[in-house]
Amino acid sequence: MNPPTSTPHAKSGAATDDAITPAQVRRVARLSRLELSDPEIDAARGSLASVLGYMDRIRSLNLAGVEPLTHASGEGNRLDRDVPRVTLTTEQVRAMAPAMDGPFVVVPKVVGGGDSEGGV
């Protein structure tokens, strides 16, 4: 796994607590697919600032040359044989979906409606 390259922006320490603006909270809420009210944005701004401010302490460590640890077991994932087996049936999947139309799962229109986000 190759982590995305960081921008100079981050290296300059842009994420300090006082740097968190309502616009930034709105951006992260949007990326999180969470519809927040204005009071929620305000509250989130305060708590995110305090938690991120605390997290900044790891930036004081010298981490040069330290290999990231991604798997606690040190073994990574164990691969199974590639053989077909029964998983969920169509009926089970249908039973879980909150909105069905006959055999179809109902979703808002994602093409042709000028919704630039929907098809992503």
Partner 1 sequence: MPHSSHMRASEVASMVSLGKRTAVQFAAAALEAQSRSASLHATLAISPEATMRIAADVDARVARGERLPLAGVPVLIKDNIATGPDLRAVGDELGFGGTTTCGSKFLETYHSPFSATAVERLIAAGAVPIAKTNMDEFGMGSSGENSAFGVTRNPWDASRVPGGSSSGSAAGVAAGIAPLALGSDTGGSIRQPASFCGLVGVKPTYGRVSRWGLVAYASSLDQIGPIATCVTDAATCLEVLCGIDSHDATSAAKPAPALVAGLELPLAGLRVGIPRQARSEANHGAVTGALNTAADALRSLGVEIVDVELPHTDVGIAAYYIVAAAEASSNLARFDGIRYGRRAVVASTDSLETLYSRSRAEGFGTEVKRRIMLGTHVLSSGYYDAYYASAQKVRRLILGDYESAWARCDAILMPTAPGPAFAIGEKTSDPLAMYMEDVYTVGINLAGLPAVSVPAGFASLGDSRLPVGVQLVGRAFDEATMLHLARGIERSLDLDLVPPAIT
Footprint of partner 1 on this chain (CB under 8 A)? 3-4, 6-7, 9-11, 13-15, 25, 28-36, 40, 43-44, 47-48, 50-52, 54-59, 61, 63, 66-75, 77-80, 88, 92-93, 95-99, 105, 107-108, 110, 113, 115, 117-118
Cα separation, 105 vs 120, whole angstroms = 18
Could you tell me the two tokens for 74? 């040190």
Please state the closest distance from residue 82 (CB atom) to partner 1, in A. Answer: 12
Nearest distance in Å: CB 27, partner 1: 8
Amino acid making up residue 66 = V
Compute the distance between CA of residue 13 and CA of residue 20 in angstroms, rounded to an integer: 12
Alpha helices in the chain (DSSP H): 8-11, 22-31, 38-55, 90-96
Nearer to partner 1, 38 or 80 (CB): 80
